[in-house]
């Protein structure tokens, strides 16, 4: 019985010794690097462009108003047609209660007839010069009254151009204080924009501006405008300066009323440190980048940025010229991530690890 118990005790002991004597195998974990592209911080000259919006107007443009509330009886010119200076665009009721046309016309015709008769008598010496001058003065007053009354019922264009807008129909009463028609010279267009004081110091007469038009017929075209006027003083309410941009429109593609955006260079920075815009990210309102360390790891760095363009940022502090920063692949790394730098100039499509979310 004693021998059996000793045997049972020896078996676990032997198993324990065998287990302790076996070789322990270590588990090795391989760190997989993230593919990225990098770019150096470089010294460049950059131009700061800003976009300003406004509504296109004809190079010369006139709005036509009515001074009496009378009914429209005739529209001699169709919208979109060419009109000449002094040509009637809208005709109002000449017999209406607000019109003085008929009375003024009658007085004028009577004064004209009397003036012509008395003129012959004056030449023959039948009336005095004083009498003749009085008749002449009465005629000139009657003529002026008639012209004024006619202008109230025959609304004419003060300039030659295209009738770009006609907002009344025959039978309607012409409202006061509201433009009834617009005539514009459209071979050239103008755009008034408003620039802050800092930008206005850089905007000069003759400067070019890129014009974008939000219209189906024009949004695929690139238009170039020229700055023709910069206000000498700011608007007292907005503290902004009015800038007029002139745009060639010989092909008549642009029309008054179109919404336009002018992109103008408002600042030029020379010999400044710059980095690609897509390399910069924000963390709790602080600008950050990932730099590339000697051991190929991403290192988070706080920087201060200045002006920015579509392509790049000016760096005010936090980086030195030549330091490499991670561009593509930035969203897939964090501080300390092992990275593998690839040459993005040799690939047309970035690998999945480089696609930004």
Instruction: Render pLDDT for 30-77 as a digit per residue (tens, 0 to 9).
Output: 889 999 999 999 999 988 888 899 999 988 889 999 999 999 999 999
pTM for this model (two decimals): 0.60
The parts of the chain modelled with pLDDT lower than 70 are 1-29, 215-220, 344-357
For residue 356, the tally of other CB atoms under 10 A from its CB is: 11
Query: What pairs with residue 312 in β-bridges?
Result: 276
Strands in the chain per DSSP E: 34-36, 38-40, 42-64, 72-74, 82-83, 88-92, 154-156, 161-166, 181-195, 208-213, 223-230, 241-248, 259-276, 281-283, 286-292, 298-302, 304-308, 312-317, 324-326, 339-341
Those residues with Cβ within 8 angstroms of residue 44's Cβ, 6 or more apart along the chain or in another chain? 271, 272, 274, 312
Instruction: Render pLDDT for 98-139 as a digit per residue (tens, 0 to 9).
Output: 899 999 999 999 999 999 999 888 888 888 999 999 999 999
CA 84 to chain CA centroid, nearest Å = 32
Fold of 34-46+270-352: 2.40.420
* CATH of region 51-57+187-268: 2.40.30.170
* Domain ranges (residues) in the chain: 34-46+270-352, 51-57+187-268, 66-166
Give 57-72 as a DSSP string: EEEEEEEE--SS--BE
- CA 317 → CA 234, 303, 304, distances in Å? 34, 6, 5
Average pLDDT, the chain: 86
Predicted local confidence at residue 268, as pLDDT: 84
Distance between CA atoms of residues 112 and 141, nearest Å: 11
Q: Is domain 66-166 annotated with CATH 3.40.50.2300?
A: no
For residue 111, the tally of other CB atoms under 10 A from its CB is: 21
């Amino acid at each position: 019985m004693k021998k059996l118990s000793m045997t049972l005790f020896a078996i676990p002991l032997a198993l324990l010794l065998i287990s302790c004597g076996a070789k322990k195998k270590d588990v090795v974990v391989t760190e997989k690097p993230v593919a990225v592209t990098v770019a150096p911080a470089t010294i460049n000259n950059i131009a700061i462009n800003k976009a300003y919006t406004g509504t296109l107007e004809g190079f010369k443009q006139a709005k036509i108003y009515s001074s009496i509330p009378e009914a429209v009886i005739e529209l001699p010119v169709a919208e979109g047609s060419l009109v000449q200076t002094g040509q009637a665009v809208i005709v109002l009721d000449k017999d209406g209660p607000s019109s003085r046309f008929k009375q003024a016309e009658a007085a004028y015709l009577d004064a004209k007839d009397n003036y012509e008769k008395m003129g012959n008598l004056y030449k023959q010496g039948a009336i005095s010069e004083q009498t003749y001058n009085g008749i002449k003065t009465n005629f000139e007053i009657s003529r002026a009254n008639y012209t004024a009354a006619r202008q109230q019922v025959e609304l004419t264009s003060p300039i030659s151009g295209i009738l770009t807008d006609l907002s009344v129909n025959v039978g309607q009463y012409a409202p006061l204080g509201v433009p009834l028609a617009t005539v514009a010279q459209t071979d050239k267009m103008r755009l008034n924009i408003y620039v802050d004081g800092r930008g206005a110091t850089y905007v000069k007469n003759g400067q070019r501006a890129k014009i974008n038009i939000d219209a189906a017929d024009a949004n695929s075209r690139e238009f170039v405008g020229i700055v023709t006027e910069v206000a000498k003083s700011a608007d007292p309410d907005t503290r902004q300066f009015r800038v007029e941009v002139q745009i060639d429109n010989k092909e008549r593609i642009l029309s008054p009323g179109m919404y336009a955006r002018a992109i103008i260079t408002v600042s030029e920075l020379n010999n400044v440190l710059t980095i690609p815009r897509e390399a910069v990210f924000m963390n709790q309102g602080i600008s950050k980048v990932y730099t590339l360390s000697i051991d190929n790891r991403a290192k988070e760095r706080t920087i201060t940025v200045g002006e920015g363009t579509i392509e790049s940022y000016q760096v005010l502090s936090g980086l030195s010229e030549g330091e490499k920063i991670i561009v593509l692949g930035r969203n897939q790394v964090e501080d300390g991530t092992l990275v593998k730098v690839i040459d993005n100039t040799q690939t047309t499509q970035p690998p999945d690890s480089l696609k930004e979310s």
